[in-house]
Amino acid sequence: MSVVVVGSVAYDGVETPRGRVECMLGGAGTFIAVSASYFTDVCLVGVVGEDFAEEDRAFLAARGIDLEGLQTAPGKTFYWSCVYSEDMNERTTLRTELNVFADFEPRLPARYRACPYIVLGNIQPALQRRVRVQVPQARLVAGDTMNYWIETAREELLAAIRDWDALLINDGEARLLSGERNLLRAARRLQQTGPRILVIKRGEFGAVLFADEFIFAAPGYLLEEVWDPTGAGDCFLGGFVGYLAERGLDPRSPDADPKELARAVVYGSVLGSFCCERFGVDRFRTLSRAEIDERFRQFKRLTEF
Amino acid sequence: MSVVVVGSVAYDGVETPRGRVECMLGGAGTFIAVSASYFTDVCLVGVVGEDFAEEDRAFLAARGIDLEGLQTAPGKTFYWSCVYSEDMNERTTLRTELNVFADFEPRLPARYRACPYIVLGNIQPALQRRVRVQVPQARLVAGDTMNYWIETAREELLAAIRDWDALLINDGEARLLSGERNLLRAARRLQQTGPRILVIKRGEFGAVLFADEFIFAAPGYLLEEVWDPTGAGDCFLGGFVGYLAERGLDPRSPDADPKELARAVVYGSVLGSFCCERFGVDRFRTLSRAEIDERFRQFKRLTEF
């Protein structure tokens, strides 16, 4: 079943210990959509400027992503640049030029509104809410956020999250949003904010899923070479929802098998790990579904005892 | 089969966000021996001062630990104190008073030398070597070290490690010893230093096992309350070797099942997690083997997909 992804489509400048790229395709919406496209049909809602390159549009289209919801507005595409620390566990934002993204108003084409799976990338919580009301019948609404919104738009964010089925955030955000340092207690508090499903992403240390009383913990997949971690969390989100959509799962159903959510977490981890193997979306220019499934099986061998 | 543990027996002063204890039983040898005692017979080799309390000796004896190798020397018992950061991921040593430990010369009673499993806690690498030569026929020699020895006695440490079957260290130590930032490449280098089995402990983020080409990754066990992480890594080591000894496993055998090593890692994680639930060794005053096995099963449920 198809997935609607709402999020930023951007040009990124990234410097890591492995190299530097001045300007390449990026943005949360892009990474989520590209990852989910390995599992199911994807519709992308976002905005780009008049400078958006034909080859980048062609790359998304070649992944089978429906671009009717990708608006083009007068002006330039959202630009963001950053530099990573030596161990790549920290990054410093260098420039944020919102450009056309400053006035982004997500409009879902009529045929997108029947999509059962909705992914809300990290955008202004008020915008996330305005998308949510356009898809009242969605089977699964999953979303992400960031420190900036937790600190500057807390109430609006909590109001948005209340209507989601799944919240996927990193451990620092989970602590900040819950006010709890201990991860288990942070999770218990966040489960009370609305979403039945909570995934706490821990970067290279894996991820933990909470769904009612069910808990699943995945270690990080070890990579010999990390080129660029940008987008790994978004790819996790895309792989997670993509797998659930491919299987047509309804996590709200009382018969839902929580192990399917665990498998979705592993697919999320797998997509996130591939993302780090090249700069930007480059790994996805050659990545095949067979490679994804092979790494999923490796993950199983890696964790079985 | 029985296990000989060589390491410090100490009095610790610990301050964490949960409280402060001025003086309590501690030391790597203590934590390793107590943890291993849940699986098999344990012989402890160490030294204490004349101030060592009868009740602490009685606690060790009640865990079935053979204390013939625990020497008493004129003077005071090794004392060490520390304070933990708010998130307990960092600690600062406040005092280190070696006392009788300064002249510690590990002497294995004759009947200890036939023990097939030897655990070398974090002590001076030259001492670790002098123990190793006393047990040439051991089936498994497993050891630990710390940043201090890596920085000040690197060559001696590498000479010691060369004759071990298993090296268990934390991720920071693995990076420091290998000179490699990437964990997978650090592991590959460390596997060339001698030990066939390498376990990299990542604190609350779990552990990774490398045995030839076999890799196993365990996530951290989530605890709602961490009182005192002191000794958790030592308890991991005690649980790891304790399980292998209980099963009578010979990891050198070509028929050895690497999944047994993975299970040993999980038992190590389980013992480490219990250790954090109270100050010092207090959790082990009431902990039962049934609780350990129940948490092992929980760990399985937590990671299966």
Could you report the per-residue pLDDT of B145-183, keeping only the tens digit for each?
999 999 999 999 999 999 999 999 999 999 999 999 999
Q: Is the pLDDT of residue A84 over 90?
A: yes
Do the Cβ atoms of A206 and B208 come within 8 Å?
no
d(CA A6, CA A30): 9
Q: Residue B255: which pLDDT band, with cuts at 50, 70 and 90?
A: confident
Q: Do B185 and A224 touch (CB under 8 A)?
A: yes
Question: What percent of chain A has a predicted confidence (pLDDT) above 90?
Answer: 96
Nearest residue of chain B to residue A207 (CA atoms):
B219
Mean pLDDT computed over B196-203: 96
List of chain A residues whose C-beta atoms are within 8 Å of the C-beta of residue B304: 259, 262, 304
Task: Determine the residue of chain A that is closest to B257 in CA distance.
Answer: A305
Predicted-assembly ipTM surpassing the 0.90 threshold: yes
pTM of the complete model? 0.95
Cα A90 to Cα A82: distance, rounded to the nearest angstrom: 10
> Nearest residue of B to residue A86 by CA position?
B181
Q: Is the pLDDT of residue A253 over 90?
A: no
Please report which confidence band the pLDDT of residue A9 belongs to, taking 50, 70 and 90 as the band edges: very high
Residue B1: is its pLDDT beyond 90?
Answer: no
B232 and B170 in contact (C-beta within 8 Å)?
A: no
Give B-chain residues touching A87 at CB under 8 angstroms.
181
Q: Name every residue whose Cβ is closer than 8 Å to that of residue A283 and which is 6 or more positions away in sequence.
A: A274, A275, A277
Spell out the alpha helix ranges (H) of chain A.
Answer: 28-36, 54-62, 125-132, 147-152, 154-161, 171-178, 183-191, 232-246, 258-275, 289-303
Is 90 exceeded by the pLDDT of residue A251? no
CB pairs under 8 A between A and B: 85
> What is the average pLDDT across B244-262?
93
Quick check: A305 and B216 CB within 8 A? yes
Within 8 A of A224 by CB-CB distance, chain B residues are 182, 184-185
**Average pLDDT along chain B:** 96
Judging contacts by C-beta atoms under 8 Å, the chain A residues touching residue B222 are 183-184, 208, 215, 217
pLDDT for B251 equals: 86
- Do residues B129 and B161 lie in contact, with contact meaning Cβ atoms separated by under 8 Å? no
Q: Are A224 and B182 in contact (CB < 8 Å)? A: yes
Residue B298 has pLDDT above 90, yes or no: yes
Nearest CA in chain B to A265: B305
Tokens of B292: 């350990």
Q: Which of A279, A266, A258 is nearest to A21 (CA)?
A: A279
pLDDT in tens, A141-195: 999 999 999 999 999 999 999 999 999 999 999 999 999 999 999 999 999 999 9
CA distance to partner chain A, nearest, from residue B270 (Å):
14
